[in-house]
């Protein structure tokens, strides 16, 4: 039987895996009810600094904190460790319905745990998370705290636990280095995840960039232009993409209404591929403007 006291003990001792397993074993309404009394303590742990204890943390707790001091007595024992934060985040997740849980951040610090805990708690609702996280990224690619760790969603996609989201934020997160650093690290990452490469990364030819996340912006942060000069040709060399696929993608991108700065990246990629300069120049004209990039 799931009890608040048993969950409180797992939270206090930072046993995140055991806590998540217990919560995943019951119906969602039951775990939400059981976690509700623990939300305050979970938030307290997430607000505490590394190596804090309840005593040291209480010294700085403001007097009007909702619920008062008493709720934190014996909230955890000993110094805080990674498991405490992951357990606290798990309590917050389990206390909410999927749409609300998808807005909880940051996600658990332990990547292997975060890859497992969301499917365990929300096996039929992972789409709520990948959609929310993709939308959040596109809205603010530079929100490092909120976006941190969310690239774990690509593992669920690769494993077939959830369909790839339609939102372009999922593509922008990939090309911006959140799965792995652009260049050889990202190339090797993509080669190890053929499904993600096929259903998401291949959309780079049609995905509109946003401020802080685009092909050109990602490459400008590195003088070697790793997406254009390493990742794309690396996929061709590995046989994942054919040259004709990339050429067609470039030509389509240059005919599109993508922003001018973004189409410049495809002009350069076209030059890398040896496409006729006159052809890429014509294709690079802004629709209806006559302005050559």
Please write the tens of the pLDDT for every residue from 213-267.
999 988 876 667 899 999 999 999 999 999 999 999 999 999 999 988 889 999 9
Please write the tens of the pLDDT for every residue from 9-50.
898 888 999 999 999 999 999 999 999 989 988 887 887 766
Please write the tens of the pLDDT for every residue from 103-133.
999 899 899 999 999 999 999 999 999 999 9
Give the span between the Cα atoms of 277 and 255, in whole angstroms.
15
**Residue of 30 and 58 predicted with greater confidence:** 30
* Eight-state DSSP code of residue 113: H
Torsion sign (Cα): 160, 122, 170, 87 = negative
Give the span between the Cα atoms of 239 and 278, in whole angstroms.
28
User: According to the model, what pLDDT value does residue 291 have?
Assistant: 28
User: According to the model, what pLDDT value does residue 43 have?
Assistant: 84
Please write the tens of the pLDDT for every residue from 131-160.
999 999 999 999 999 999 999 999 999 999
SS3 62: coil
- pLDDT above 90 for 79: no
**Residue of 64 and 33 predicted with greater confidence:** 33
Number of Cβ atoms within 10 Å of the Cβ of 178: 20
User: According to the model, what pLDDT value does residue 40 have?
Assistant: 83
User: According to the model, what pLDDT value does residue 13 have?
Assistant: 85
Element (H, E) at 253: helix 243-255
Reported residue count of the chain is 293
Please report which confidence band the pLDDT of residue 67 belongs to, taking 50, 70 and 90 as the band edges: low
Phi/psi-derived region of residue 286, left when phi > 0, alpha when psi is between -120 and 50, beta in every other case = beta
Structure tokens at 46: 């997430």
Place of tokens 């000069």: 229
- pLDDT above 50 for 281: yes
């Amino acid at each position: 039987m799931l009890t608040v006291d048993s969950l409180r003990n797992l939270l206090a001792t930072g046993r995140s895996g055991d806590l998540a397993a217990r919560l995943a074993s019951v119906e969602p309404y039951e775990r939400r009810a059981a976690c509700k009394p623990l939300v305050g303590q979970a938030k307290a742990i997430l607000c505490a600094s590394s190596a804090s204890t309840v005593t040291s943390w209480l010294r700085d707790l403001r007097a009007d904190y909702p619920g008062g001091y008493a709720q934190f007595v014996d909230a955890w024992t000993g110094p805080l460790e990674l498991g405490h934060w992951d357990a606290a985040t798990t309590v917050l997740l389990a206390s909410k319905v999927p749409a609300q849980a998808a807005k909880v951040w940051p996600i658990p610090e332990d990547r292997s745990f975060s890859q497992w805990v969301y499917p365990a708690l929300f096996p039929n609702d992972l789409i709520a998370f990948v959609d929310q996280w993709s939308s959040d990224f596109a809205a603010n690619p530079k929100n490092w705290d909120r976006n941190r760790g969310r690239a774990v969603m690509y593992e669920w996609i690769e494993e077939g636990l959830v369909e790839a989201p339609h939102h372009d934020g999922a593509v922008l997160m990939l090309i911006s280095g959140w799965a792995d650093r652009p260049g050889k690290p990202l190339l090797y990452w993509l080669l190890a995840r053929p499904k993600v490469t096929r259903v998401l990364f291949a959309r780079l030819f049609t995905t509109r960039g946003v401020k802080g996340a685009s092909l050109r912006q990602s490459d400008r942060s590195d003088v070697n232009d790793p997406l254009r000069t390493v990742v794309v040709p690396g996929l061709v060399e590995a046989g994942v993409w054919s040259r004709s696929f990339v050429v067609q993608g470039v030509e389509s991108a240059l005919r599109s209404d993508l922003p001018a700065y973004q189409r410049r990246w495809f002009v350069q990629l076209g030059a890398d591929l040896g496409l006729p300069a006159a052809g890429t120049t014509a294709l690079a004209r802004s629709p209806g403007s006559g302005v050559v990039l």
